Structure 1
Amino acid sequence: MRVGVAAVWACATALGVAAVESFNETLDLHTLPGGRVHAAFSFAMHSDDESLRHFRILPRALLQPVASLDVDAFQLTLNAGRWQYASWGAPSGSQSVANGAEVWASFGEAHRSAALPLPTRWRRLTSALAGTFCASLDAIEDTTSVTIPARYVWSDAPENTTALHAYLPSESVCTENLTPLLKLLPCKGGAGLASLIQMHTILASEFHSVSVQGYTVVLGVTSVMRPPMLPDESHVWMLSDIFSRNLTTTCPVATTSEVWVAEPNEHVASDDDDDDDDWVPSPWVRRMQTRVYDTTSLAPYGGTLALSIAAPVRGPFLKPPPLQATRQVLGFGQERNLVRLTLHNALPTETVQVVYYDQIPWKVLPLMHTLHTTLAFDPADLPEDAVSYRDDYDAPFVTASTYRPAVLRGKTGAVELVLRVPAQSTLTVTYTLLKRVLHYDEHVPDPHRGIDLPPAVFVPLATGQSMRAWAYAHRHRPVHAVQAERIYTAPSLLDIAVPDFSMPYNIILFYSTYVALFFGSLLNAMVRRFRDVVV
C-alpha cells in the first residue's frame, strides 16, 4: 500500500489511536545442487495506518527521511557473488541479485507538484540510505541514474508511475552494512532469528545480499552456503554448521516467527507436477518436502532449536528455468566491440515476451542501427503431440524498442527492447558498442582495471501457464512484497584506452635532474675561484 505523507498524518491525528503494528520474521532454508544451502532471512514490519509520528516497531531512522521526501516506495540491495539461475532457480524473498548496489525509488505523481525537484529528492534519498546502512552510495547522481517504468520493479505499480534506478556494480557487502540493518530490528541482533546472523558466516558464503524496502519495511539477508568438502552423495547440514550457533532465544515483539526447511524427498509428490511436467524431463525433477518450525516459543524444542538438512550433491533437484537469458560483451580495443544477448525458451508450445533493459553509461555508445537477431530452433526437442506454427518462428523478434541516448559527460542512457522468444528456441541479439575516448581527468582512480558496465535486466511479460507454474513451484513460501520476476546478468568489465599517466612524472623527473645538474655546474663554474695553494 502506498499512501501520501499528508494523508497518513491526517488519518493518524483524526483517529488519535495507537498504531497496530506487527513484526513477522521468517527464515527460509532450502537445499541447492552441490550440497549447498540457501538461507533467506525476511523481517517484515507493518503498521495498519503506517503511522509516521509514533514509532514502536517501525524504524524511525529509516522511515522519517524517506517520508519527508514523499517517496512512494523504494528498494536498496547490496549483493556480493553471482546467482546461478540455471542451477539454483529463482531466489527467495528479494529478487534483486545484481552484483554490487542497486537502488530503486518510486515517486508517483506527487513529485510534479512538490516543492523540491525530483533530482534533489532522489539525491537526498540515496544520501539518507547511504548514511543509514553505511554504504558508499555517493557515486549515485544525475549522471548515473535513469528513469524507467515502475512495473519493472513492482508488478502492481500503476501505469503512470515512474521509478528512478541506479547501479553501483563495484560496491560490496561488509560488516558495516549488516550491523546497521540489525539495529533497525525491534530486538536488534540479540534475540529471535536475527541472532543467527553472524558476520563471519554470512560474509564467507558463496553468495550473500542485504536488502531493504518500504513502507511496509522488509529487511532481508540472503546467503548461499557451500560445504568445505563435497561428499559423494549428500551433505548433512546442522543449524550450527550454517550459522555457528543454534537458535536459543526468541523475540517477544514478533507476531509470527517461523523457520521453513525445504529439502528433496523422492517419496513425496508435488501438487503442481501435473500442470507443467510436460515441458521438463523427469530426471531433472526431485520431489520436495517442507518442514515448518514455529519459533515464537522454543519450549516445544526443549529451549533450543537444532535441526539438520540433507543437501544432495549430484544432480539438480529444481526444474531448470523455462527462460534463461545472458549478456556478453565481446571484442577488444576501442572498436569492434559487440554486445550479445542470448535468450533460451524451454517451453514446448508457449512464446514468451521479454523486456530487455540495460543502462548505457555515457562512456560507451551503442550503435542501434547494427541490431541483428538470429533464431535457432531444434524441432527434435518438441514433444510428439506438440504443434508449432511457422509464423511464430518468423521475424521480427523485436516487437518494440525504446532508446534514450546518453548525454556526453552528462547523463546515463538506457535501452529497452521487447523481445519475442518462440517455444523451444534460442534467440540471439547483437549490436555494436563503441567506447569513447576519455579526458585524462575523467578516468577512475584505477584506470587500468577498466570501467564497469551495469548488469542487464530481463523481465518476462504475460507469462503463460507453464512459466507461472514454474515460478509458483520455486516460491514455496509467501513473500511480503509483490515484485516483478526479473533475471539479472553479470556485470561486464570493459577495457578502455588509458594514456601513460607515468609520462608526465618521467618528464618532470628528467628535466628536474637535468636542470639541477646544469644549474649546479654553471653556478660552480661562475663562482669558483682558482688559485695556487702553497703546501
Structure 2
Amino acid sequence: MALRRCCSIVSLFGLIALTIFVVALSQASTVKNESVKKTTKQMSKVGKGTPNVKKQHSDPVAVVPPKTPKDDFQEELAIRPLHSGDIYASFQFRTLWETDFFGGNKVSHYRLFPKSLGQVISKFSVRELHISFTQGYWRTMQWGQPYHSSPPGAEIWVWFQDSVEDVDGTWKELTNVLSGLFCASLNYIDSINSIQPSASFKPLGINNETDHRFLRYAALPRESFCTENLTPWKKLLPCGSKAGLAVLLKSEKLFHSSFHSQAVHIRPVCQGKDEHCTSTSVELRQTLNVVFDYITSGQGKREWSLFKMFSRTLTEACPLASSSKIYVDVSDSAEGEYFVLSPPTPLLTQAVVLGDRRNFSVYDLTQRSTFGATSSLNLLIRWTSSEAHMLRPLLHAERYVAGSGLHTGEIHTLLYNNHPYRAFPVLLLDSVPWYFRLYIHTLNVTSKGKNNSPSYIHYEPSKDRVKPHMLEMLVQLPPNSITEVSVQFERALLKWTEYPPDPNHGFYVGSSVISSLVPSIVAMDTNATHKSPLFNTFFPSKEEFSYFVRLYTEPLLINLPTPDFSMPYNVICLTSTVLAVGYGSLFNLLTRNFQIDEPRPGLAKRIANVIRKIRGVPPL
C-alpha cells in the first residue's frame, strides 16, 4: 500500500510539471509572433510613408555576409623547339588573390590559394618566397636562355617583413616547415650555408625601400629532385593533377629527361591598375621547366608530340582556371621550313621574350573547338630540316677550378658578352664554404688582356663552422669580350667527424649568380604586360631597351685533403688480433688447472685384471 501511494504522488507531480511547461511554451511563442508582426507592420509603414527611403529586408535578423576577396587562376604551357632537336616545355600556373597577407590580417577562408602556403606566409611574416628544385644543368649555348633560371640542386631566398625581430630564428623555423611541405632537405639550411646579399636578389614584387638584413639566401647544390618533391608541388594546384595542363605532369616522363626544374614564387603585387598601389594582392606562381632529349628518350628521330613527351593528351581545361592556353614558339619556322606543327591553329600572337620578338601559335583550351572532333588535343612537331642556326645568347657564364694538389687552388669565372657594340654591367655573387679559405687579395678581373676594376665590391669573410664567404661585385663587361674573374683559395683540413660518408667524392660549391640588365633587340612595352603570356611577365623591365636576366654557373666539385679512413679499421683489426692471441694465452695459463691423466688400459688388460681379481691375485 505504501508503495502504491508513493507511485501515485510521483505521477501527480510529473503531470503538474508537464502542464506548466506546455503553458509557458505556448505563451512564449505567442509573444514572439506578436513582436514579429509588429516589426513587419512598422517596416511596411515606413516603406509606404517615405518613398525616398529604400525598403529594408523583410527579415529583421538578416546579416550582410562579408565581402569575399577575389581570386583568379591561370595556367599555360609554352613549348619551344630547340635547334638541337630537343623540346623545351615550360609550365606556369598563376594564382592571384586580392587579399592582404602582408598587413598582418588573418585570413581564414581559402578557395584557390593553397592554405598550407597561406599559413606559412602569415605565421612567419614572409614578404616574398622563392624556392626551386632542379636536376641537371641548363646548356645555354645549345638551348638559349630559359624563361626562368635556376641552379642545380635546391635554392631558396626569402624577404621577411620589417616587423620580424629575430630574422635568423624565423629563417630556421621557415626552412624546417618548408622541408616538410616539399619533402626536401631544407632543414639542413643554417648559418653555415646561408648568406645576406646586399645587392643581388632584389624584390620582384612591389618596389619599396628594402633592407638586406631581412633577406636570406641559401643553396644546396647536392639536393636531388624526385617524385617526393613533385607530388606535394602538384597538390598546391587548385585542380591538382586531375584536370587541365597538370594531367601532363607524369613523373615517369618528367624525370626521364635532360633537365627538369620546379619552382614556387610568392610575391605581393598591386591590385588591378592601381598606379599608387594603395591595395595589394598576393601572387603565387608555380613553374615547371623540362627539356626532352630525343636521344635520351630513345625515339631516335626528331619528332615530338604531347603523347610522346608526357604519355597523355589533353581533353579539357581546369574548370577553376580563367585562362588555359598552350603557346608554341614558331618564330624559327614561320613558313614551315624547319618543322611542321599540327594541328594548325588560326590564333597567332607576338611577344617580346628575353629581348627578342617571338611568334607563337596559341591553343585556347577553354574553347571546345580546340579539341576537334576527337575531343582530345595531341600537338605534333615534326622536324623537316636540321640546318637551323641559333643566335648566341648575349650573356653567358662558365666556371671551373684550376691548380694541382690538395693544398691550394684557384676558382675561375668566365663572363661572356656577345653583344657586338654594347657594354653593360653585371652583378656577380659568389658564396663559398668556409673550408675553402679565399685569399681575397688575389682577386683579379681581366677583360681583353687588361685589368678591369670592379666599381662595387662587397666581401664578408667566413668564420670557421659558422658562416661561408660572400663576395659581390659589379663588373662592366666590354662589348664582344670575355671577362675572367679569378681568386685563389686554400683547402682546410676538417675534423674526422665532419667528413660525409663519401669524402672522396668531393665537396660541392654552389653556383655563381649573375644578374644583369642585358640590352634588348626590340623595345619592350611595359604598359601591356597584363596581356602578355605568363612566361614574359615575371621579371620586370627596368629600361625600355633592356631586360633583366639572372644566370647560374655550374656548381663546383672540389676535393679536400682526406685522411685514410681505412687506417682506423686496420688498427682495430690488429689490436683485436693481438689481444685475442696474447691476452687469451696469458689468461689460459693463469686460470687453467693441469692434471695428469693416465691412459686407459686396453681390453685384454682389463679382462686379465678381472680374472686376477677373481683368483685373488694383484692386478697388473
- State the TM-score, normalized to the length of structure 2: 0.73
Distance 1:181 1:70 in 2: 22
Distance 1:232 1:505 in 2: 49
1:534 pairs with 573, 589, 599, which one? 599
Q: Which amino acid aligns with 1:291?
A: S
Q: Which amino acid aligns with 2:286?
A: L
Q: Is the 8 A contact 1:34 1:230 kept in 2?
A: no
**What is the root-mean-square deviation of aligned Cα atoms in Å?**
3.0
Once the two structures are TM-superposed, the CA of residue 249 in structure 1 deviates from its matched residue by 3.0
1:57 pairs with 91, 109, 112, which one? 112
Higher RCO by CA contacts (8 Å cutoff, separation 6 or greater): 1
Give the equivalent residue in structure 1 for 2:37: none
1:176 counterpart SS class? helix
Cα gap change, 1:520/1:417 in structure 2, threshold over 3 Å: closer, same or farther? same
- 1:319-375 CA distances to partner (integer Å, 9 max, x unpaired)? 211121111111233333111111121112211201110102111111111122332
**Identical aligned residues as a percent:** 30
Distance 2:115 2:350 in 1: 43
Once the two structures are TM-superposed, the CA of residue 515 in structure 1 deviates from its matched residue by 0.9
1:341 counterpart SS class? strand
- 1:495-518 CA distances to partner (integer Å, 9 max, x unpaired)? 011112222222122111111111
Q: Is the 8 A contact 1:44 1:480 kept in 2?
A: no
Once the two structures are TM-superposed, the CA of residue 408 in structure 1 deviates from its matched residue by 0.9
Q: Is the 8 A contact 1:266 1:288 kept in 2?
A: no
For structure 2, the residue ranges without an aligned partner over 5 or more in a row are 1-63, 102-106, 267-281, 337-347, 541-547, 601-620
Distance 2:252 2:84 in 1: 22
Give the equivalent residue in structure 1 for 2:56: none
1:406 counterpart SS class? coil
Q: Which amino acid aligns with 1:167?
A: A
| 1:101 aligned onto 2:154 | yes
| 1:249 aligned onto 2:354 | no
Distance 2:502 2:300 in 1: 45
Distance 1:44 1:317 in 2: 33
Distance 2:499 2:569 in 1: 17
| 1:228 aligned onto 2:295 | yes
1:334 pairs with 397, 406, 411, which one? 406
| 1:304 aligned onto 2:357 | no
1:38 counterpart SS class? strand
Distance 2:111 2:416 in 1: 49
Does 257-266 or 310-319 show the bigger shift? 310-319
Q: Is the 8 A contact 1:151 1:158 kept in 2?
A: no
Once the two structures are TM-superposed, the CA of residue 318 in structure 1 deviates from its matched residue by 3.8
Once the two structures are TM-superposed, the CA of residue 126 in structure 1 deviates from its matched residue by 1.1
Q: Is the 8 A contact 2:370 2:377 kept in 1?
A: no
Q: Is the 8 A contact 2:97 2:283 kept in 1?
A: yes
Q: Is the 8 A contact 1:246 1:305 kept in 2?
A: yes
Q: Which amino acid aligns with 2:397?
A: A
Once the two structures are TM-superposed, the CA of residue 110 in structure 1 deviates from its matched residue by 2.7
Q: Is the 8 A contact 1:218 1:480 kept in 2?
A: no
- 1:468-515 CA distances to partner (integer Å, 9 max, x unpaired)? 78xx9xx97644533652110010101011112222222122111111
Give the equivalent residue in structure 2 for 1:425: 481
Give the equivalent residue in structure 2 for 1:284: none
Q: Which amino acid aligns with 1:449?
A: H
Q: Which amino acid aligns with 1:40?
A: S
1:27 pairs with 67, 77, 90, which one? 77
Give the equivalent residue in structure 1 for 2:365: 295
2:242 counterpart SS class? coil
Q: Is the 8 A contact 1:154 1:482 kept in 2?
A: no
- 1:176-207 CA distances to partner (integer Å, 9 max, x unpaired)? 11111111111110111101110100011110
Distance 2:230 2:483 in 1: 40
2:90 pairs with 40, 54, 63, which one? 40
- 1:57-104 CA distances to partner (integer Å, 9 max, x unpaired)? 000012202221111001110000010111212212xx2320000001
Distance 2:200 2:296 in 1: 43
Does 68-77 or 161-170 show the bigger shift? 161-170
- 1:210-266 CA distances to partner (integer Å, 9 max, x unpaired)? 111114111111110111389999722111011101102321111110011113315
Q: Is the 8 A contact 2:316 2:365 kept in 1?
A: no
Q: Counterparts of 1:48-127 in structure 2 under 5 Å?
A: 48-50=98-100, 52-92=107-147, 95-111=148-164, 114=165, 117-127=166-176
Distance 2:262 2:171 in 1: 21
Cα gap change, 1:315/1:411 in structure 2, threshold over 3 Å: closer, same or farther? farther
Q: Is the 8 A contact 1:460 1:486 kept in 2?
A: yes
Q: Is the 8 A contact 1:33 1:311 kept in 2?
A: no
Cα gap change, 1:312/1:489 in structure 2, threshold over 3 Å: closer, same or farther? farther
Q: Is the 8 A contact 1:81 1:208 kept in 2?
A: yes
1:319 pairs with 391, 396, 411, which one? 391
Distance 1:467 1:496 in 2: 48
Cα gap change, 1:290/1:332 in structure 2, threshold over 3 Å: closer, same or farther? same
For structure 1, the residue ranges without an aligned partner over 5 or more in a row are 1-13, 278-286, 378-393
- 1:95-137 CA distances to partner (integer Å, 9 max, x unpaired)? 23200000010114332xx4xx101111111112111111111
